[in-house]
Amino acid sequence: MCAGTALALEVVVSEAWTRATAPGQTVAGVYFDIESDSDARLVGVETRLTDVAELHYMKMEDGVMRMRSLPKVDLPARETVKFAPGGLHVMLFELKRPLEAGGELGLTLLVEDAGGQQTRVDVSAEVRNFDGSKAHHHH
């Protein structure tokens, strides 16, 4: 393969959301659907609101819900991988400011293709109410 002919990975992210944070809360989970057109993996997340963003997975072990930090999440070709409460999700720690319902949280997902090339995917997650319902935008 000649350099320059490599097609950029096509990654589609939809339904990205997070919950509003309570006063003093510095941790947030982010959820979304992600689909890549070829085998790839999600290797990291960046956001201006914190330097500490991790991929996490909730798993039942011996009847206890445990949270595991993952170095990466596989994205099989043309398969929608769902990040949702109780499953895969992105955890943000040490938030620099609260998340307000009706606002937006900008994220950059780092996706690596089979050849190790990274693609940056910018995502805007809507900030929902505490209970996860959609916030009404105030005018």
pLDDT of 2 higher than 50: no
How deeply is 28 buried, as exposed, middle or buried, from its count of CB atoms within 10 A (0-12, 13-18, 19+)?
Answer: buried
Instruction: Give pTM, 2 decimals.
Output: 0.88
Answer CATH for 12-128 from 3.40.50.300, 2.60.40.1890, 1.50.10.100, 2.40.128.20: 2.60.40.1890
How do the domains of the chain map onto residue ranges?
12-128
State percent of the chain over pLDDT 90.
Answer: 82
What lies within 8 Å, CB to CB, of 98 at 6+ separation is 20, 21, 23, 25
Q: Which two tokens stand for residue 72?
A: 């990466």
